[in-house]
Structure 1
């Protein structure tokens, strides 16, 4: 499966910038749906309510997904790769 990678930077409640990628099927192109996936992730790390718009989240590139990511996308519609300050 090929996935679209959306590069995302959100200011945490403590002011630090968290960096994560939202991965979706390459045919998913509704920005609002992708932002909702990001907001859903933010809830899981106690950062709900933080802004997540086209200012914080932008399409980056298409890539091939490993099996684990592919399974997450099939199950949830998206996968997250945590990069910086996500915990």
Structure 2
């Protein structure tokens, strides 16, 4: 499965920076849906209410998904790769 990768930077409630990628099927182009996935992730990290718009979340590239990412997408519609400041 090919996935679109959205490079995302969000300021944490404590002022730190979270950097993560949102991965979705490459056919999905609905930015509101992609931002919604990011907000769901932020809520899971107790960062709900933080801004997540096209300023924070931008299309980066398309790549082939690993089996783990495919499973995430099949279960919840998206996958997240945590890069920095997410824990």
| Superposition RMSD in Å | 0.3
Q: Which residue of 1 aligns with 2:47?
A: 47
TM-score by length of 1: 0.99
Extract structure 1 runs of 4+ deviating beyond 2 A.
none
Q: List per-residue Cα deviations over 1:25-47 (Å, max 9, x = no partner).
A: 00011000000000000000000
- The count of aligned residue pairs is 87
Q: Give ranges in structure 2 of 5+ residues lacking alignment.
A: none
1:57 equivalenced with 2:57 (yes/no): yes
Report the Cα distance in structure 2 between the residues aligned to 1:18 and 1:68, rounded to whole angstroms: 22
Q: Which residue of 2 aligns with 1:38?
A: 38
